[in-house]
Structure 1
Amino acid sequence: MNDTPKMLNDFLKYYSTVLRYMDDYISEPISQFHLTFDAFLIMHEIGTSSKPLLLMDIAASHHVSRSAISRQISILLKYDYVYQVANPADRRQKSLLLTEKGQDIDRQLIAAIQDVFDSWVNKLGSQRVEGMLDFFNDFTKQVIQVSAQNS
């Protein structure tokens, strides 16, 4: 017997509840600082990078256009969370770095998100959460990256 219709129905049900729940609990502290989740991820990536990042580096790592990243960067610039430094050899290239304010907010948000994540690990157990993360990793490699390569 083919379980695909049941799996699809279950997926749709869980997608609308679980992912919305996860998004709400993660986005709530982020929205206090006028950020979207995507803008926060970019800010965190800039702050944790071992080298200054260019807009095109971020666009490539997120599999989106430079203009999509540019819109998020403009929010980070507006609230003084990041600043740009022009490359002396090519002034069109601008590295992105976190301001002290951006570093402080990143630390606050990571701590808040860590608390939420820890509560999920406590309720579900680390083995189940690791299984979920393994699934997300497989999904990224086998579906998202393959789809990006084919487009």
Structure 2
Amino acid sequence: MNNTPKMLNDFLKYYSTVLRYMDSYISEPIKQFHLTFDAFLIMHEIGSSRQPLLLMDIAASHHVSRSAISRQISILLKYEYVYQVANPADRRQKSLLLTAKGQDIDQQLIDAIQNVFDSWVKQLGSQRVEGMLDFFSDFTTQVIQSPEN
């Protein structure tokens, strides 16, 4: 006899199905450039920033350790998608910037992901997608960033 509440069962079923589906469609174009989704997000954040970013800034915004971000940055450096510039006042601080190659790949990937996202909006409707994004926003602020966690 299964005593698991229906809501939890539904969550488990949809979590694995939906996230696997979303991951495959979003990650597929990213893989061709030897990137993980996390490395792509970091690359995109660096490219979208109005000012050079430090590794510690990226770690803080992603809520992970500096060593976790450092591993992703090493991939971006290896494929020459980003470069580092040392702070003249403190050479230990290195700002991260996208190379021209990194800018081009970031734009290609954003375009590919935009096409996938647009198809979801077309299928589901913008109100439902906005509702999902509102849920993700609430989950981030109320659960992930909660002082209780």
The aligned residue for residue 37 of structure 1 is 37
Amino acid in structure 2 at the alignment position of 1:36: T
Distance 2:7 2:72 in 1: 35
Distance 2:5 2:124 in 1: 27
The aligned residue for residue 17 of structure 2 is 17
Aligned-CA RMSD value? 0.9
Q: What is the percent sequence identity of the aligned residues?
A: 88
The aligned residue for residue 139 of structure 2 is 139
Amino acid in structure 2 at the alignment position of 1:124: L
1:106 is aligned to 2:106: yes
The gaps in structure 2 that reach 5 residues or longer are: none
Q: Secondary structure at the match of 1:117?
A: helix
1:68 is aligned to 2:68: yes
1:64-102 CA deviation, whole Å, 9 max, x = no partner?
A: 000000000000000000000000000000000000000
Amino acid in structure 2 at the alignment position of 1:136: F
TM-score by length of 1: 0.95
How far 1:150 sits from its partner (Å)?
A: 4.1
Extract structure 1 runs of 4+ deviating beyond 4 A.
none
Matched length: 146
How far 1:58 sits from its partner (Å)?
A: 0.1
The aligned residue for residue 52 of structure 2 is 52
Structure with more of its chain in helix, by fraction: 1
Q: Secondary structure at the match of 1:57?
A: helix
Amino acid in structure 2 at the alignment position of 1:118: D
Amino acid in structure 1 at the alignment position of 2:6: K
Distance 1:102 1:150 in 2: 38
Distance 1:19 1:75 in 2: 24
The gaps in structure 1 that reach 5 residues or longer are: none
Distance 1:39 1:150 in 2: 28
